[in-house]
Amino acid sequence: MQLSNSEEQLMNHLWDLDPAFMKDLIQQYDDPKPAQTTIATLLKRMQDKGYIDYITEGRSRKYNALVSKEDYVAGRFQGFVKSFFGDSSVQFASFFAQSNTMSKDELQKLRSMIDQEIKKK
């Protein structure tokens, strides 16, 4: 199950602080900061989805990520490739390389990274 945009923003704050109390998470937001009840609702939904958990310390909860940022991004990327490129990494790479946003230097760096990965395999 995927995180909503609001949950994803909060998850990024948790990854930065991991572990963190609610007050620490709220402090990560720009002003105007979200209400504590809003953050509590998001944390509960994220826990229900299996992304976070907490331990009780006194009267407070210390939240921790159960999913690493790397694993989450990899899953999101795989879903993106599946949805838009027929689950073909080659079609994605072709689209990406042919986009007008990449400079010649960036394409050469990409080629070098691909060459290194080929040598590893």
* CATH number, domain containing residue 37: 1.10.10.10
Residue 75 lies in a domain: no
Give the separation between CA 68 and CA 51, rounded to whole angstroms: 9
pLDDT at 17 over 90: yes
Task: Answer with the residue of higher pLDDT: 7 or 2.
Answer: 7
Compute the average pLDDT of residues 11-34. 96
| Interval 58-108: pLDDT, tens | 999 999 999 999 999 999 888 888 999 998 888 888 887 787 677 889 888
- Hey, is 92 helix, strand or coil? helix
Residue 81 lies in a domain: no
Compute the average pLDDT of residues 41-65. 97
59 lies in which domain range? 5-65
pLDDT at 55 over 90: yes
Helix axes 89-98, 69-85, angle to 10 degrees: 90
